[in-house]
Structure formats: structure tokens, C-alpha cells
Homo-oligomer: A and B are copies of this chain.
Amino acid sequence: MSKIPYKIYLEEHEIPKYWYNLRADMPNKPAPLLNPGTLQPMTVEELSNVFCSELAKQELDDTTRFIEIPEEIRQFYTMYRPSPLMRAYRLEKALGTPAKIYYKFEGNNTSGSHKLNSAIAQAYYAKQQGLKGVTTETGAGQWGTALSMACSYFDLDCKVIMVKVSYEQKPFRREVMRTYGADVTPSPSMNTQIGQKILAEHPGTSGSLGCAISEAVEVATSTPGYRYVLGSVLNQVLLHQSVIGVEAKTACDKYDIKPDIIIGCAGGGSNLGGLIAPFMGEKLRGEADYRFIAVEPASCPSFTRGKFAYDFCDTGMVCPLAKMYTLGSGFIPSANHAGGLRYHGMTTTLSQLYHDGLMEATAVEQTAVFEAAEQFARTEGILPAPESSHAIRVAIDEALRCKEKGEDKTILFGLTGTGYFDMLAYEKFHNGQMSDYIPTDEDLQAGFAGIPNIRL
């Protein structure tokens, strides 16, 4: 057996006691959210109409470095945390690379992903506020599953609006959510005004996260005792997901592991933001240096081909405006896109860091992603989610680059989840029916046309 185990498990008492708020260490703070009506920065009071009050505070707090994790949340975390930091000895051997590859595996729970980290926090604050229930949207279904589990734990109602393409392709996810007592509706639906509008304009659309968000917000704000919760993009979600990075950093420090490159997939940006948070903090404070790489699908290239501008967070344009890398709130990835990571924008924190040159981004095509997924499954044993496999693809590419150059760099990536509910996408891949699609410049221009012209 090697000195560093295959799976590094911290003890339960090492579950972090604080979330780390990266914004507090950023010299250039993310731009504030704007009220879509007044174009003034959103206040906690305004946000509290949509979000739980404590979460509204967390959303706007860019100065408190450490925020205590309530004990009830830490108790819930013991179900599946600390999550293991894995050494990919077998993948390294298969690649013949001198690089050392580590991954923080967040899939060892029934939601199958990191989403549970924030779901339990959001459900907790909703319960504290005495709410009856929450609404949300879900894409691949991981977030909806996570929220269902969290709401079941705190005995809250849970209404999940599920992107239609996922609702139809992933009926099993629906049953997992029902096992935890959630109410699940496909989006766009005729139950909301915005759903009716989108269906009138785009009949037969397979939906998008943007549409689903608008519907979930409408349901929350029109139902007494409800608030809206969101599984990515928001500052509060990055804050909660910092538990990934803090644990990863603790494990690295304990075993004297110093990553050179840290890689994560990026849809809305929450897992990546959470994973890199404490490492980026060191970089910002000049204590250490790391390369950070965000990996996005070539079919939804917010960072690599988007614009850095104020834009709507949702298709219905009812949410606050955020300054972010965006493809326009009307952008919907082509129907052949298999996994999640379908969001048109990118969380403000990562957008600012990318804009400031503190982070890199790259886009990969899905056939190459599934090739990496299969290689990973066969060597490491874990069947990865398509989303997570974007990070695997780039980790493998970087490891092969190390092999070419004879460098023994240390690579750390986020393995956000498992692919057990994604077997239809794998089936397409096995049958050679998977296609790649890169949006044309015209496709992108159509999306950009919907970005409002705001200069502050």
C-alpha cells in the first residue's frame, strides 16, 4: 500500500465549522445584483421577497470571511461528509503519466452530487424562518433530488419545476424526488404565466434552466409561505459549496499535497466556486499560487465565448440582473446536448475572477467528454456524471501534457457526481449516436441581442 491512501477520509469532527466567503478576500468584488425595475443594487429587503431572509443576507455579504455553519446543518452533513479526496492511482497508471491526480468525490450520497451541500443549508434557513415550503427548478435532476432530501429532513413542502428534456429523459429522478415527498412539474408548463408565454413563443421547446427558474420564482412569489431557492449561480450557493474546498484543503494540508492545477466543470459555477474557494483565497492573499481551470460544454460556452455584462439570470427576466459572463438569457443549448451545465450565465464571483485573469476557462465537446467518462469508469470504478466528466476530460488532457513534457504536476479536480441517472446519454454514446454541436457565431449573436444595455 502507498503512503497516500486511495481514499482520504477526514474524521467527522473535521467537517468544517465555517463556510469560507471568498468574496471577502477579493480586491475586485463581484458587481452587485441589480433590481430589474430600478437598476439600483438589490437590498436585503428586496431579496427577501424571493429568498429566505438569512440567505438574502448571505447573498449580499461580501465582507464576512467566515460564516458559521449551524450545528443542525453539520449534523446533516454527517450523512455523507466529509467526502473523500481520492488519489487516481489507477487512472495515472492507465495514462502512463508522471502527474499525480486527485479528485474530490461529491457523489457518495443519494442526490448523486455536491448539490446537497447547499440544499440542506437553504432548507434549514427556510425552516428557521417558519416557512411552509420552497420552490425550485432542476435541470439534470440532481438539485431537485438534493432539495427533496433536505426538505424531507426538515419537513418542508418542496415544489420542483424540472426542465422538460430532463423530466422526459430522466423519469427515474422524478421517482427519487417522490420518495422524498416532493411535487415535480415539467417546464415550461401551463401552470404559470411565464410558462404560458414561453410555450406560445417557442412551441415544443425542450425547456431550459432559465425558463424553469422563472416559473419557480413565479410560483414562490404567488404562494403564501413559500420562497424560492436556487441550486447554483448565487453567491449564497458558492458560500455553502465552499465546504468542498475547505475539506479538500484540509485533506491536502494533512497529507502535504500541493495542487498545481485545480479543475472543475462549470454550469452556473457553484461546485467550481466551492472547490477553489480556499485555494483562490491563498492566491488572492499572495500566499500560494495555483492554476484554476473552469471547464464548460462547447455547446454552452458562457466563459469562453460569452460577454461580461449585466444580464438577466432567468429567461422570464423577473430575477435580479447580475454582472457575469453570459450568452444572453434567451440562449438555449442545442437539443443534442446530453448533460447539465445548460445555464446561459456564470456566477458573478467566478465571472469577476475570470475577468481579472485569476482563472482560466476551456470548452470541450461532449463526445470527448464521454470518452473520458468511460476511461475513468473503467480505471477508477466510479461511473461519473456527464457534467463531472467535463472536468475529467481536462484533467486527463493536462495529465497527458505532463507525460509529454515529463512533468510530475499535481492535479486536483472536482468529481461532482455519479451518472447512474444518465444512462440514456451513455447509451447514445455506446451506440455511436452522440453528436457534437458548437453554436455558430449567428447562434451566439441571437443570444447576445437579449442582453440589456446597462453601463454603470
Contact = CB atoms under 8 A, between A and B. Distances in A.
B78 A374 contact: no
Contacts of A430: 175, 178-179
Given A12-B7, A421-B420, A110 B382 contact: yes
A277 to B, nearest CB: 24
A426 B378 contact: no
Contacts of A5: 11-12, 78
A420 B152 contact: no
Contact of A12 (B6, B79, B382): B6
Contacts of A421: 172, 420
Nearest to A15: B1
Given A179-B430, A420-B172, A381 B109 contact: yes
A369 interface: no
A284 to B, nearest CB: 32
A439 interface: no
Interface string A381-392: 111000000000
A76 to B, nearest CB: 8
Contact of A377 (B1, B110, B172, B381): B110
A102 to B, nearest CB: 15
A180 interface: yes
Contacts of A78: 1, 5-7
Interface in A374-414: 374, 377-378, 380-383
A108 interface: yes
Contacts of A233: none
Interface string A155-184: 000000000000000011001101111000
A12 B5 CA distance: 7
A9 interface: yes
Contact of A179 (B112, B149, B418, B426): B426
Given A6-B12, A78-B7, A423 B176 contact: yes
Interface in A129-175: 149, 152-153, 171-172, 175
A420 B108 CA distance: 12
Given A78-B6, A382-B110, A420-B421, A180 B377 contact: yes
Interface in A226-255: none
Interface string A188-210: 00000000000000000000000
B383 A176 contact: yes
Contacts of A180: 377-378
Contacts of A12: 1, 5-7
Contacts of A423: 171-172, 175-176
A380 B79 contact: yes
Contacts of A149: 381
A407 B165 CA distance: 51
A455 interface: no
B374 A179 contact: yes
A79 B6 contact: yes
Given A175-B426, A420-B420, A423-B176, A381 B110 contact: yes
Nearest to A112: B420
Nearest to A80: B381
A420 B417 CA distance: 14
Contacts of A377: 110, 179-180
Interface in A280-328: none
A443 interface: no
A78 B382 CA distance: 12
Interface string A2-37: 000111010111000000000000000000000000
14 contacts: A1-B13, A1-B78, A5-B11, A6-B79, A79-B381, A109-B382, A112-B420, A172-B172, A179-B377, A179-B383, A180-B377, A180-B378, A181-B378, A420-B421
Interface of A: 1, 5-7, 9, 11-13, 78-80, 90, 108-110, 112, 149, 152-153, 171-172, 175-176, 178-181, 374, 377-378, 380-383, 418, 420-421, 423-424, 426-427, 430
Given A175-B424, A175-B427, A181-B378, 12 more contacts: A5-B78, A6-B78, A6-B79, A79-B380, A110-B381, A110-B382, A149-B381, A153-B378, A172-B172, A172-B421, A172-B423, A172-B424
